[in-house]
Structure formats: C-alpha cells, structure tokens
Amino acid sequence: MSAESDLFKLPVLELSRSLQDHTASISDLAANYVIHCAINKLHAVIKPVGIIGAGAAGLYAAMILQDLGIEYEILEANDRIGGRIFTHRFNGEAGRHAPKNTPERYDYFDVGAMRFPDIPFMNRVFDLIRRVRVDDLLVDYHLGVGNNLAYYNTRGPFRKSDIRPKSDPFGVSIASGGTVPEKYALAGTQSWISKTFDPFRDLFREAYEGQNEEDRFYAFEKAWKTLMEQDHHTTRGYMQTQKEDQAPFPEPVVNWLETFHAGTGTYNAAFTESVMSSLNFNWPWPHLDPPSTPNAQITKWYCIDGGSDHIVYKMADALESEPILKQRVTKMEKRGNRIVVTGVDTGGVRQWKRRYDQVICTVPLGCLGAIDTDGLGLLYNHKQAIRALQYHSSTKVGIKFKERWWEKAGVNQVIPTGPIRGGQSSTDTQIRTCVYPSYGLYTLDAPGVLIASYTTAQDSRRIGVLAQDKGSVAGEMLLEQTLDELAKMHGISKKQFGPVEDYFAHNWDTDVFARARSRIMGLGSSGHRATMGGCLPALKHPLGAAGSILLARRRRCTMGGSWAR
C-alpha cells in the first residue's frame, strides 16, 4: 500500500456467522490487509491451514477460519493452551471448575494477562469475551482504592489517597535532601506526566469522536502521524527536550517520574511506547477536565472471575478441531506452493512433518527466531523485525497465605492504615508492586492468595533470576526477600502475615514457550503505517508470494499483550 487513502479503501472481511460483525477497527487496518491478502488465495486450499501457537491469537485465527468454513490445524509446543494468558491455581484444575463464590474458586492468581480496561482500543476484546460467553464472569477490577499504600525512599507507608499536592512525603526534593527541584516535587508526579502525555492522548480521543468511519480514520491518521514525529525520541529524551510551552525536565525529575510511574529503565524505550501504554491507564475521556485527572473510576476495568484462562478455554470449546499440544515447530520451508513444517514432540522423542498451503504463525518473536526459516525466502526487513523488536521483561511472585490478612478489619485488623480490598500498593524496593485480588472479595474464607511482587523491565530482570524451583536456594531467597519487603510496604512485621502455605514465581524471560512478556517499542520501531520502513510494519506485511506465512503480531493484538497485564 503506497498511499494513506488506499488503507481506508481496504475491504473489510465478510464473515458468515458468529463473527459476522467482528470487523477491523481503524487501528487494525494493516492487520486487516494482511489477512485479506491471504484469504483471497484460500479458494485453492486443499490442505488445512496450519496455525502455530495456541495462545489467544492462534485460537482467534482458528475461530475466523472456522467461520469461513476453512479447515485448520493448531500446533502448540506447551502442554497447555493460552500462551501468555496463564492462570496458576494452587489447587489445580479443581479450582477452575469450582462454582462462583466458593473458596475453592479463588485459590489462584493470573501470571499473565489479568485486567482489561474498557477503552476504545479494547472494543474487539470485549466483543470476543461476549461471543465466547465469558461476559458473565466479568467482575470489576479495582485498579486503585483509597487504602492502597506507597513506600518510597524508606519513608512510609502512606495511604495514596492521603498524599496531597504541595507536599513531599517521600523526601525527594532538594530541600529534603533529595535531588528534585521544589518546583517539580511540590506539584506532584501526575502533573508532569499529564503535561507530557496529554497532547498526544487527546489526539487519539478525537479519533474516536468522529461522526463516521472516514472522519475517525483521518483523525487517527493525524494522531499517529503526530506521534510518529517523536518516534526518534526515548521517553527520557523527549522529556529532556525543549518544547514551546515547557522547559526540558532535569535528569533527576525524569528519574523521579520513572520511579513512581514505570519500571526501571522503561523511559529508555521509545516515547511512542509510553504514550500508547498510558492510554490504557489514562484514556482521555472528554467529560473530564483535565482529561487525565487521576481517578480510578475514569476507565472501567474488569477481570475474569476464576482466572483469565477461562477466556481461552471457552475459545477452544468453540472450535471443532482441538489444538495439538506438545508439538514444537523447529523448521518451516517452502516447497513449491506448499509450506513444509517440521517439528518434534516437546520431549524430543518423535520428529514429524506436516504440509500446508497457508501457515499463520502466532508465536512470540523470541520463539519464532528459534525456528529455522531459511527456506522461506524472508526479506531482510522481516528478519530484522523478528530479531530486533524488543520485548518487556516481567516477573510475578504469588504467595498463598493462610488467610487474607490485608482485608481484615475491626479488632482483627492487621494493616494500621486500614483494610485493603483490591488495587495495588507500590514501592521503590525490589518487589515494586503488590496487587490485591479484586475477586472473591465477599466470599467467606477466600484463600489468601496475593501477587506479592509484580515487576517489569530491569526490576524484573533483577528479581527474576531468583524465580527458580521451590526448594532451591534461589527460590528460598526470593520468598524471604519478598516477605521482608512486603512487611515494610505495609508497616507491619512478617509474623502478622500468618502462615505461608505456598508460593509460585514466574519470570516470563525464562519461560521457554514465551521468552518475554510483551513487545515494547524501541526507537524507530513503529516505522510508517503504510510502508515497510520499520520493524512493526515489516511484521504486518505478507511474507511470501506462494504459501503465505502470516505473523499475528499487531500492535494491540487480541490477548496477552501489554494492555492486559
């Protein structure tokens, strides 16, 4: 596609039954183009379409093909479906099938995607949730509640709701012995975050306020073009650049903002990434002034009662062909008009070959890079994109206590500042974020499962090295450190937690079937929507003239990406 106007003229996929109205949104035009090009060739298909990966993207592709009446086969290397939608249950499968509002159902935490913001970018996700009939499991996710705590610079904990502008509770200002000039410190972090991101967020809001699809399309193109003009900046670099109405932020200010609003090192990634990520948490709804006024109820967030993997299991239930598990693809090559896929059982016992006219590859790029694709004739830009597109690191540590000590009130209250029901507390120690369950809040004797540590970026890489087998030296170090810092965050002693019954830690970087959590844009990675100039567009373009290989790697692809964390 050489002109922006051509993108708008792309045909929308005509689907016959359950997905009839599940059309591409304005932010999905490039992905729609890729799919359309491949679908046009399917009249000659005499073999099943091969789908590599049974995560949400692979299952979603299968749903589309099934609706079109096209035979398919799904290959998955892992022993489970879902990919980066992964729910860990301390009581096993019994928990997944337990009735709602019973203690057995809530003996889990979501290791992967765990929360879903109801914003325009997510319309197709919520449509999918309705179509697979999981909408009755949607429950309010509390992104923040009044009693959530903050512990920074060895000060606190303070209730986040008690922190006021023109105060410096954590002693970050120069006057208090810190490094942040008073002008910045006393205004608070949110003020400077808003000044940085709001001009771009407002443009995306306008794209969804148009009267018709064409108006929305051109508004989106304007927003994207404006953002791409800053794609050569890191977030750190942009903040330290002179603007018409704002002086460059001093380096200590940038470090301060990153510490309170992102993982360590995140601001060294593309400014584009920070803007798009901020839309998840601060969508600029027009009825607020300013649009990014902090309020946990601005955007409605939801989670899945019983675990996010209910989504992928329901998707699989809707399929006529079950995913074939424990089948690791090792090679793909073009032979004539066919794609030959070679692989082994996950145990490496038996090698196999399968032939397809079309292949849809949905695996993370770290896994795709480990597959021999020399025989596909990929272009340089494709190989560069597969190798260079960056991914986030992420580690979660879930601990099962005997009871939910953080929710106790009255004479049994444990936390001095009051009970906590949902939301998250934060710190600059190595555990960074503690996430309280928003489910099972009113279930008697609900298990005391807590995401005691949720880290990303460099924070994850540092603590994630300890996320090893239970009973190992590293595993015991991780548990001890997490409990120590959790106690500091809440201003209590470890004894007040009560007994620890179990724990589970997962580092997505060392997950052999993922090799990272979700993509993160580096400088210039976004390229141009209508060209092959950057890494992301390279992955949206058909990869072969005969027997297309499709990479389901859209910016906000179906499930398990950065928005559903």
Same domain? 202 vs 226? yes
Phi, psi of 539 (to 5 degrees): -85, -10
In a domain, 163, yes or no: no
CATH number for the domain spanning 51: value is: 3.50.50.60
In a domain, 179, yes or no: no
In a domain, 89, yes or no: no
Q: Is the pLDDT of residue 532 over 60?
A: no
CATH number for the domain spanning 477: value is: 3.90.660.10
In a domain, 105, yes or no: yes
* Contact by Cβ (8 Å): 77, 58: no
Give the residue-averaged pLDDT of 239-255. 94
State residue 346's pLDDT score. 82
Q: Is 14 helix (H, G, I), strand (E, B) or coil?
A: coil
pLDDT tens sequence across 313-352: 999 999 999 999 999 999 999 999 899 999 999 877 899 9
Which range marks the domain in which residue 440 is found? 100-118+139-143+393-510
Q: Is the pLDDT of residue 564 over 70?
A: no
In a domain, 497, yes or no: yes
Same domain? 480 vs 546? no
Same domain? 269 vs 195? yes
The overall pTM is greater than 0.85: yes
Same domain? 506 vs 400? yes
Return mean pLDDT, the chain: 85
pLDDT tens sequence across 398-452: 999 999 999 999 999 999 999 999 999 999 999 999 999 999 999 999 999 999 9
Same domain? 207 vs 268? yes
In a domain, 504, yes or no: yes
In a domain, 29, yes or no: yes
Beta carbons within 8 Å of 119's beta carbon, 6+ residues apart: 279, 280, 283, 299
Q: Is the pLDDT of residue 465 over 50?
A: yes
In a domain, 556, yes or no: no
pLDDT tens sequence across 173-220: 999 999 999 999 999 999 999 999 999 999 988 887 777 888 888 898
CA distance 135 to 131: 8
User: What beta strand segments (E) does 215-308 contain?
Assistant: 301-304
